[in-house]
Structure 1
Amino acid sequence: MTKQLLIYERAVPVTRQRHGSWSIKAGASYDFAREVNSVPLMVAEFANSASEYAIVFGGAAGEVIPVALLGIRDGENLYVNEGGTWTGKYVPAFLRRYPFVFSSDSATDPDAVFTLCVDEDFSGCNDDGRGERLFDTEGERTQYLQNVLGFLQAYQVQFQRTKQFVANLESLGLLEPMQAQFTLRTGQRSTLSGFSVVNRERLKALPADKLAALMQADELELIYQHLGSLANLTPIAERIGVPAPAAAEPETAPPAPGDFETSGSA
């Protein structure tokens, strides 16, 4: 299985035979995301993310997707403090679904069959009843596992919508590579590259019918949320070298299906 997956170490299919007596003890630690400086972001999350993260577009040609920048240097997440607590107000759904994930033999086929997997290296996985059971004593899925499936199914729907949004931006020629330079508190210079943003001038030059189509699809609003979020690049860089504040402890358990516009609490 590909490591899509940034944060997954040993994701295997969830089965009654292998995990029939397993439980998941979710906690408030985001240590698993400590070395991730960006994560995929679904379009349904733009509104809640734009106030504190820089939303940009990353990925190889044909696989471009919006991402929330969490740091400006490799292997550094500036939103996880020393205790493993998430210090932002909103936790991206990509992280909230951990330790679960869907896998598929085809990342591009919308009709592909998806298999629910769990990262067995997650510290909350156990066989002694701590947390939420995956299967009941009859071998049936628990309500917890049903909620997990519902959340991941909703995530997959949002993923397809997000891919269509990016495809529209690319077809209109609106994305362009960007490089950002920062002067850190230490006086050192740092450069961030390898991502794209919407070109404002190209956007304003679009024919009226194209702009109207973007507006009707609610994609013009998404574009301006993305552009407005770029003001967060400097505040993100300013987190370097500053002790991360304590924050309310969001749960890592997946929230209810479709809960992409709320906080990270389960």
Structure 2
Amino acid sequence: MSKTTTTSPADNPLFYANPVPLDREKHRELKLGSGEPDYGYARGAHFIPALIDEFSAASREMPILFVPGAKGPTAVFMVGLETGRSRLVKADGSWARPYVPAYLRRYPFILGEVEGQDPLVMIDEENSVLSLTEGEALFGEDGEPSAALNNAIGFTNEFFAAGKRTEAFIELLTSLDLFRQITIETRAAGAEVQTIHGLLAVDEGKLYELSDADFLKLRDERVLSPIFAHFFSLTQIDRLRDEVQA
């Protein structure tokens, strides 16, 4: 018997149930934990958004693929073989691999885009990451952002910029018609076949058939390394099959 999974990108940011503008009065008592991060909130996701800046560092840990969407493909890390079930979140909420996706490290902060205005720092009020009792407060007694909050906001801004670079990277690949649809099948010993449809990968054959001008465009945009990191990451697909599930 085989089991089939069809991809279905979410319309809203993954994990963000109730993002609201960060407010120094409303969120003054919230604290960022100083211990080991708990990624239990990510246990129900088999894909995590990925950034082009991460491809090289993460390629030895997780498959990097692309999911089609109404606005174009999205880069993702595959972290599970079944819909709604991660294989990389352990029972205690820790991450099973050395590299933790930036998307998880940014949560519960995010930048909201409002037309005609600067991006606004927001926070998911329904998160399980922040605490009222443990860690460093987001704001000091004077109402100013703490060092922990400034670091989180800095990282959120870096993530936003990297997201724009990732969008440009994908737009370039799309314009050169370099994506192909793939189906992934894996099978553990004595278990049913896991089949995942609806994914995209860079077509290596098309890459090497590009004209000199188009290939040089990829070189000049400095995206050849991420493309090859994507190719290398696909060797990690079967490794997910053997990951002990929480």
TM-score norm. by structure 1 comes to 0.82
Q: Report which stretch shifted further, 38-47 or 130-139.
A: 130-139
Unaligned runs of 5+ in 1: 245-266
Unaligned runs of 5+ in 2: 1-9
Match in the other structure for 1:263? none
**1:138-153 map, 5 Å:** 138-153=142-157
Amino acid at match of 2:130: C
Match in the other structure for 2:199? 195
CA shift, 1:52, in A, is 1.5
Amino acid at match of 2:187: T
> What is the alpha-carbon distance in structure 2 between the residues aligned to residue 94 and residue 112 of structure 1?
24
Contact 2:38 2:129 in 1 (8 A): no
Structure 1 residue matching 2:224: 3-state secondary structure? helix
Contact 1:185 1:238 in 2 (8 A): no
Match in the other structure for 2:125? 120
- Say if 2:167 is the partner of 1:163: yes
Structure 2 residue matching 1:82: 3-state secondary structure? coil
Match in the other structure for 1:154? 158
| Percent of residue pairs identical | 28
Structure 2 residue matching 1:154: 3-state secondary structure? helix
**1:33-112 map, 5 Å:** 33-105=42-114
**1:185-264 map, 5 Å:** 185-239=189-243, 242=244
- Say if 2:30 is the partner of 1:22: yes
Match in the other structure for 1:173? 177
> What is the alpha-carbon distance in structure 1 between the residues aligned to residue 12 and residue 117 of structure 2?
16
Aligned residue-pair number:
236
Which string of whole-angstrom CA distances, capped at 9 and with x for unpartnered residues, describes residues 94-143 of structure 1? 0001121122246xxxx753221222223343444x21111111111122
Q: Report which stretch shifted further, 227-236 or 14-23.
A: 14-23
Amino acid at match of 1:114: P
> What is the alpha-carbon distance in structure 2 between the residues aligned to residue 3 and residue 60 of structure 1?
9
Amino acid at match of 1:158: A
Amino acid at match of 2:121: L
> What is the alpha-carbon distance in structure 1 between the residues aligned to residue 127 and residue 184 of structure 2?
35
> What is the alpha-carbon distance in structure 1 between the residues aligned to residue 130 and residue 235 of structure 2?
39
Amino acid at match of 1:104: E
Contact 1:3 1:9 in 2 (8 A): no
CA RMSD of aligned residues (A): 1.9
Match in the other structure for 2:137? 133
Structure 1 residue matching 2:25: 3-state secondary structure? helix
CA shift, 1:17, in A, is 2.4
Which string of whole-angstrom CA distances, capped at 9 and with x for unpartnered residues, describes residues 6-27 of structure 1? 2122222111221123322254
CA shift, 1:179, in A, is 0.6
Amino acid at match of 2:124: D
Contact 2:68 2:200 in 1 (8 A): no
Structure 2 residue matching 1:6: 3-state secondary structure? coil
